[in-house]
Amino acid sequence: MTYRIGYLIGSLASDSINRVLSKALVRLAPEDLEMFEIPIRDLPLYNRDEEHDPGPAVTAFKQAIEGADGLLFISPEYNRSIPGALKNAIDIGSRPWGHNSFARKPTGIIGASTGAIGTAVMQSSMRGVLSFLDAPQLNSPEAYITFKPEIYGDDGSVSDESTAQFLRHYMEEYSALVARVLSSALPGHMGDSDPDVMH
């Protein structure tokens, strides 16, 4: 069984350390994960006026989210929270009401920063957002990466074996979460009666 996993990079910077980290994660992912990027760069700012007549960038973004078996968020922390570009993308994907593209998608949150706490506060904010959006999350291991540029290659290589081992383990645990969530039974539908009526 192969799972298609979309990853979202929370940084728009061309020299993003989180983009470098994404290459390592793609390379170290187990074979049952087919990784592809879901870009957020060209999305407009969320505007409720446009919800029912979205442009092609929004439509393509929501289709990519819905077509993925799981989602991996690889993001920096900005001012102790979620970068605006990523939060904007999540807001877009969550709407219109009743068409939340993130519902039941198995998710992982990981991030690199130049600081010592390795995106821990951003990840904590993300957990609240993804819980509200009904997206199951990998709870353990947590992955707070203080980025050390000298160990990451542009080709996704990681020269420090203990870091490589940790990232490989993270991706294996994420793969196991995807398998668990996708194999678990959903509640049955409520029959032919009007679901809004309590009997």
Residues that bind ligand FMN (CB under 6 A): 11, 13, 16-18, 76-80, 113-115, 117
155/196 with CB nearer ligand FMN: 155
Query: Shortest Cβ distance from residue 90 to ligand FMN (Å)?
Result: 17
| H/E segment holding residue 110 | strand 107-113
Query: Shortest Cβ distance from residue 120 to ligand FMN (Å)?
Result: 8
CA distance linking residue 56 with residue 188, whole number of Å: 34
74/178 with CB nearer ligand FMN: 74
Helix axes 161-183, 17-28, angle to 10 degrees: 70
17/178 with CB nearer ligand FMN: 17
78/174 with CB nearer ligand FMN: 78
Helix axes 56-67, 84-93, angle to 10 degrees: 80
CA distance linking residue 93 with residue 28, whole number of Å: 28
Query: Shortest Cβ distance from residue 66 to ligand FMN (Å)?
Result: 26
Query: Shortest Cβ distance from residue 18 to ligand FMN (Å)?
Result: 3
58/122 with CB nearer ligand FMN: 122
3-state secondary structure string, 47-66? CHHHCCCCCHHHHHHHHHHH
47-77: string of b/e by CB count within 10 Å (b at 16+)? eeeeeeebeeebeebbebbeebbbbbbbbbb
Taking CB atoms, the residue at the shortest distance from ligand FMN is: 115
Query: Shortest Cβ distance from residue 148 to ligand FMN (Å)?
Result: 12
Structure tokens at 173: 């645990």
